[in-house]
Amino acid sequence: MMDRDGATGGPLGFALEGETFRRAIALLERESMRLATALRRALPFLTRREVSINLAWARAIPLSEAMRDLPRPAHVTPLLVEPGPAPGALVLDANALKLLIDGVLGGDCRTLPELNPAGLTAPQRALVGRTVEGIVRAVGEVLASQAGVSINLAPDRPAPQPIDGTPIVCAFTLGTDPGTVLLVLPKSSLVGESGLTLALGAAPAPTNPHVLRALDGVDLELVVELARVPMKLSTILGLKVDDTLPLGVSASEPVTVRVDGKPVFTARPLTIGGYIAVRVER
């Protein structure tokens, strides 16, 4: 079940990973209206100018891929996320930056400023940075109250660092010629660590809600192992219809039941209504 680094592997690990991604995305979709309201609260000029804010999508996607088609320049603000330790980010594309700069400077959102695709000027970065602080506070209030997640600006605003793994990216559009705001959060901060451990032979700890949420609804395959018989290739190639394979196992001996290749319990074979079954013993 666990590899040498302590991570869950195999089909169970894949199932757990997929389940936690789905739950993290569902959480952000459920809170999307509150998050959109938080953005509007941080950018009140959008309301005055009747600029809409809508959730476009929420996906498990690498940040580089989410940003690939965004118009440049894009502004990336690193975020500290608790529970951690994985980082997050707030990203504004060029169209969102134009709306933000125009609105903060008192424009009418009709004649938007031109931006250099190579990057913002120092005054533009300073203006955007101050506005981003308000966005992080407003969005952070929603995440803290509804999901128990805390976000804060990274100290000293370091250069954006690559985000390891696949985060959950929530994309909001601003207006009809949309600007895009990406809220990037690590999956582990929303629904717990993906590398969850299922203690074989024992129930998951009921005090860990992350384990219970991750395992809820996950289908696993149980394999009843009757016997393992060594046999030469020449013997296998010579098998024909009606041949009998001696297994060397007594009909009264218990068999092993495995999940994801690991032994979970032993059981005794029996028949019920003409069908082979096993009764769990240990």
Both 74 and 127 in one domain: the answer is yes
Q: What is the pLDDT of residue 193?
A: 46
Both 21 and 137 in one domain: the answer is yes
Q: How far apart are CA 267 and CA 282, in angstroms?
A: 7
Q: What is the pLDDT of residue 73?
A: 96
Q: What is the pLDDT of residue 66?
A: 92
Q: How far is CA 175 from the centre of its chain?
A: 28
162 found inside a domain: yes
266 found inside a domain: yes
**How many domains does the chain contain in total?**
2
In tens, the pLDDT along 205-242 reads 444 555 555 556 666 677 887 777 788 888 888 888 88
Both 227 and 123 in one domain: the answer is no
Residue ranges, the chain, pLDDT below 50: 1-8, 158-162, 193-207
Class of residue 270 by CB neighbours under 10 A (exposed 0-12, middle 13-18, buried 19+): exposed
226 found inside a domain: yes
Q: What is the pLDDT of residue 212?
A: 56
| Ranges of H-type helices in the chain | 10-30, 32-42, 44-48, 63-67, 94-104, 122-147, 187-191, 209-215, 233-237
What does the block give as tokens for 202?
Answer: 């024992």
Q: What is the pLDDT of residue 11?
A: 52
Both 226 and 176 in one domain: the answer is no
Angle formed by the axes of helices 94-104 and 122-147, nearest 10°: 100
**CATH code for the domain of 25:** 3.40.1550.10
Both 30 and 152 in one domain: the answer is yes
Residue type, 48: R
The secondary structure of 82-123 as a DSSP string is ES-SS-EEEEE-HHHHHHHHHHHTT--SSSPPP--TT---HH
Dihedral (C-alpha) 221, 224, 228, 233: value to the nearest 10 degrees? -50
Q: What is the pLDDT of residue 34?
A: 93
3-state secondary structure of 267: strand
Both 236 and 177 in one domain: the answer is no
Q: What is the pLDDT of residue 8?
A: 47
Name the nearest CA neighbour of 107 among 126, 127, 80: 127
Both 61 and 178 in one domain: the answer is yes
Both 23 and 154 in one domain: the answer is yes
Both 123 and 248 in one domain: the answer is no
DSSP-derived secondary structure letter, 50: T
Domain housing 274: 221-280
Q: What is the pLDDT of residue 168?
A: 92
- Measured from the Cβ of residue 248, the count of other Cβ atoms closer than 10 Å reads 9
Contact 198, 15 (CB under 8 A): no
24: CB partners within 8 A, 6+ apart = 60, 168, 185, 187, 190, 191
- pTM for this model (two decimals): 0.64
Both 259 and 176 in one domain: the answer is no
Both 58 and 142 in one domain: the answer is yes
211: CB partners within 8 A, 6+ apart = 192, 196, 197, 198, 204, 205
| Cα separation of the two ends of the chain | 19
